[in-house]
Structure 1
Amino acid sequence: MRRFITIICPVIAGVIAAAGLTGTARAAAPEQVSDYYGQRLSWSACGNGYECTTLNVPLNYTKPAGKRIKIAMIRLPATGKRIGSIVLNFGGPGASGIDRLAADKTFMSDSIRRRFDVVSFDPRGVGRSSPVRCLDTLRMDAMLSSDRTPDDRAEVALRKLWDKEFAKACKANSGKELLAHVGTYEAARDMDVMRSALGDRGLTYLGLSYGTYLGARYADLFPTRIRAMVLDGAMDPSLTSSEESRAQTTGFGVATESFLRDCFKADDCPFGKHSVSAAEKRLAALLKRADRAPLRNTYDGRQVTEAVVRTGLNAALYSTAGWPHLRAALTDAFKGDGTKLLLLADGYNGRLPDGTYVNETEAFLAINCVDHPEMRCPHWPVKGTTFARKVHAKGSPPIVVVGTTRDPATPYKQARALAAQLSKGVLLTNDADGHTAYSGGASCLDRQIDRYLITAKAPRPGACAGRGGRA
């Protein structure tokens, strides 16, 4: 998934990296990292038909003889005549590719499963790959429920305190050396070492959401080492962080309107007035109510604050599958019970039933701290990395970019922009709601992508335009 900046950025106002060019932006010569290329992966069974392994990579590509880290990988072996491997990144940044692939064998179609080993991984700093760690459970609970739109001096002071506390905890529990080297630039270099270790002359890749940003950066670094690449739910790498945030605000506004219009048709819709403007005012009133005093929670002892309500709302807008859950959560919330909104927020924040957190939120913040130096971060312990704004990937084969017209997290115009930037970008349009398109019910679009991945022959631009991607 794509983490929504409109939710997270206010949490860390002042936490994202200070500007500056670090050594990670200067690539080591190929011969300096040659020892990492061609390494043989030792796969072993890890349950339910999956195989797992680790890949050795340098922590710092400018010092490849220095500290090594391991990138955790998972695969489903091809069931038929094998072409090679297809590498997946499901988004984030910070999401575990291992957990996502392990949870759903059916994500890739049977035709892809027959011809490819389906491979995913936890990028550096994530999950099982030298994970970034910062706050303990109680402090994570407190930070994520704290006011992101402070209304008075006390709330402003508390917001600044959490900014400082988070950065301090990340430094203490992860170390400056790791924090300096968890960005997308080095993750893209890891993928090229991975491609070599998988035995593929050219990378076959499907990136979703943030995975499109990672894939685009790979394409710019290694354009001639691509066999086929699909970037679904595309981010526009030319946007600044503030531009991205504004775009997402608009995107979630569009998604909210789509949810409301659908809600008005349902018997369990909690809005008495079937008017978008009236319903939006009621949602705004709910947020103000939670800001004044937290909603009830019958699940545990936490408070359902305005921040929790907002996270629960936006989390459910990522997919139309979440809309029935959001209707039920709002029905309760309008009566003062925020339990279901809290559980929606927990799912987004990676809070497990035992109260612990996966490290997705921490990794998300740490990766952005080195990827986006234009965002201020007075307390962050390392400097960010400067990237070229646009991605061209001159010399690459055709790269397929997929955009969904009412995508809340990566608005459709970003897919258009990325396809136009790439020297051989091909845009496919999915006229639908929700974040990303592949394996989401757009059968025509899925067939076009599968055909391209198998044959490496690009589809016609716009081949599946139409409601739900069906044509």
Structure 2
Amino acid sequence: MPTALALTFFGLSGCSGADGVATPSATRSAAREASSSEVTSAASPSGSSGRAAPPLPASITGQRPSWGPCSGLPTNPPITTGRNGTPSCARIKVPLDYAQPGGATVELALLRFPATDPAHRIGSLLFNFGGPGASGTDTLAESAGQFQGLAKRYDLVGFDPRGVGRSTAVRCLDDRALDRYTASDATPDDASEEKALIDEDAAYIRSCAGNSGALLPHVGTTSAARDMDVVRTVLGDAKLHYFGISYGTWLGANNAHQLPGNVGRAVLDGAVDTRISGIDLALQQAAAFQRALGNFAQYCAKLGATQCPMGTDKDAVVASVQKLLDGLDARPLPTQQKRQLTQSLGETGVSAALYDQTSWKILAQGLANAQRGDGTLLLMLADLQNGREDDGHYANLLAAYTAVSCADTTERYTVQDVRRELPRFRKASPVFGPSAAWSLLSCTGWPYRGDDAAKEVSAPSAAPIVVVGNVGDPATPYAWAPALTKEIGGRAALLTLKGQGHGAYLTGDRCVVDTVNSYLLDGTVPPSGKTCS
């Protein structure tokens, strides 16, 4: 079901002309060539974390990527890292099912910027920017300039996980159907609207099964974490050096759990607590977005009535936003894109801008325009979050997010569960709570049971891992960072930023950047509990 809230680390660089947004966008130039037809044969899901999987054949471990020119990549902001500023791309194969490693394979897309100081090169630094569903190739292509301090001694490597983007990708609805789905009512008010939502979700799941059925059992985090070790092997690195953001922290932590002896230097920024239930995850995330909306409202009120006509104080602005979104349920707004701004799209647009404090000015403008009857800017923000390009083509963000999320849990909620939990969700977040509650039905009726093995992240014997949390994070609430640090155990260290926005490193905070760079470049582990402000 369409919902504004997800673990995804998506920036709004497509709006940088309005406010100089510097975060990477994972919503541009989605792959068109990847297809579920790349699955060479079907195989039964192993349901395994991979800890007892058979050894990999030489056809997998002996691969050497054939690096060549990249095509169709985003180039905003300009790439200034790498020896000549131009990345190279390659594809490798990994087992579809690690329980049958000599059987069917899927492909992973890789992108690499070579180290600019090869004489002092440490190795490869593998990135995952979140989701599940964010393209690591596109996002690194856009954001490589923000990692120039690391690019001196590391090859920066982005990859699209299985099921995502340019790799063998999950496909569900076509573009036109996605326009209808993302605009549909995610907060039903009566029995007929509940039925419509349930029917829409069922149709979405049928389309996923029909278009990607052979792939769906094998896109879970435990398999993607094993894939990262294959990437490490074929790149020729003795240890996996890794930078994960948002969902990427879950992926990196599960990799450390499965293969603790292969962990090199790892940073997990915007941490996820993998051990809480789906209900608690959605509830805490909704509350965090509500707090972020309040922080935005304080900022907005100080802009004055011209730039922020929603109110003169925090409470007034929040109330105006809620009234605006509620009004869209019955009366969607027209836009210049000739599509209407519905309640679901309006909520997605608002939440998208809360990921990054530098987007708040854009959000204020979008809300002011909406109050005057123009939903264009909020719709543009929603499109960025949903992975919709200007030409109407969607990246497979929503399909991959649903498929991976449903593969990673055995939890399947009912309408009765949602009705029971709705009061708690509304109390936690009057604005975002109802849609977060109804999103619990996203995996209900999924054709595969799912597997809870991805939630296991303990890695007490691994090398030190640095976990980073931002106190004002709306998408991964700060409490999840100390929780993940404790779950990993061993020598894991917690780094805290007292800031706003999703994640910490890409805010550009000098203390965070210097601390993380010192760890990744020199191996200097910060004292656990260090705080930047």
State TM-score, norm by structure 2: 0.81
Partner of 1:101: 140
Partner of 2:189: 151
Superposed CA RMSD in Å reads: 1.9
Partner of 1:46: 70
User: Displacement, 1:397?
Assistant: 1.1
Is contact 1:6-1:245 (8 Å) kept?
no
Match of 1:426 among 471, 487, 493: 493
Q: Deviations over 1:414-443 (max 9, x none)?
A: 001111222221000111000001132211
Is contact 1:406-1:433 (8 Å) kept?
yes
User: Displacement, 1:222?
Assistant: 0.7
Change (3 A) 1:67 1:388: closer
User: Displacement, 1:457?
Assistant: 2.9
Is contact 2:349-2:381 (8 Å) kept?
yes
Partner of 2:168: 130
Q: Does 1:443 align with 2:510?
A: yes
User: Displacement, 1:341?
Assistant: 0.8
Match of 1:338 among 375, 392, 400: 375
Partner of 2:529: 462
Q: Deviations over 1:128-186 (max 9, x none)?
A: 11111111112111111111110122211210111111011111111x22011111110
Aligned partners of 1:86, 1:51: CA distance in 2, in Å?
15
- Within 5 Å, give how 1:70-81 maps onto structure 2: 70-80=107-117, 81=120
Partner of 1:181: 218
Q: 419-428 vs 306-315, which deviates more?
A: 419-428
Aligned partners of 1:133, 1:203: CA distance in 2, in Å?
30
Q: Deviations over 1:81-125 (max 9, x none)?
A: 211100000111001000001113212133x11101000100000
User: Displacement, 1:34?
Assistant: 5.2
Q: Deviations over 1:210-254 (max 9, x none)?
A: 000000100100111111100000001111111110110111011
State TM-score, norm by structure 1: 0.91
Partner of 1:15: none
Letter in 2 for 1:343: M
Aligned partners of 2:4, 2:263: CA distance in 1, in Å?
26
Partner of 2:125: 86
Q: Deviations over 1:15-49 (max 9, x none)?
A: xxxxxx95132525342445422421211232751
The percentage of counterpart residues that share the same residue type is: 41
Aligned partners of 1:198, 1:3: CA distance in 2, in Å?
37
Is contact 2:55-2:101 (8 Å) kept?
no
Is contact 2:241-2:265 (8 Å) kept?
yes
Residue 258 of structure 1 aligns to a residue in which SS? Answer: helix
User: Displacement, 1:452?
Assistant: 0.5
Aligned partners of 1:293, 1:447: CA distance in 2, in Å?
49
Partner of 1:221: 258
User: Displacement, 1:360?
Assistant: 0.8
Aligned partners of 1:177, 1:54: CA distance in 2, in Å?
20
Is contact 2:492-2:528 (8 Å) kept?
no
Aligned partners of 1:6, 1:69: CA distance in 2, in Å?
25
Segments of structure 2 that go 5 or more residues without pairing to the other structure are: 9-43, 72-84, 414-442
Q: 77-86 vs 279-288, which deviates more?
A: 279-288
- Within 5 Å, give how 1:396-407 maps onto structure 2: 396-407=462-473
Partner of 1:4: 5
Structure of higher RCO (CA pairs closer than 8 Å, 6+ residues apart): 1
Partner of 1:263: 300
Match of 2:60 among 36, 44, 55: 36
Residue 147 of structure 2 aligns to a residue in which SS? Answer: coil
Change (3 A) 1:32 1:89: closer
Partner of 1:119: 157
Residue 427 of structure 1 aligns to a residue in which SS? Answer: strand
Partner of 1:250: 287
Q: Does 1:287 align with 2:325?
A: yes
Q: How many corresponding residue pairs?
A: 449
Change (3 A) 1:293 1:273: closer
Aligned partners of 1:283, 1:386: CA distance in 2, in Å?
37
Q: Does 1:359 align with 2:359?
A: no
Segments of structure 1 that go 5 or more residues without pairing to the other structure are: 8-20, 467-471
Letter in 2 for 1:44: G
Match of 1:233 among 270, 273, 283: 270
Residue 308 of structure 1 aligns to a residue in which SS? Answer: helix
Aligned partners of 2:523, 2:92: CA distance in 1, in Å?
26
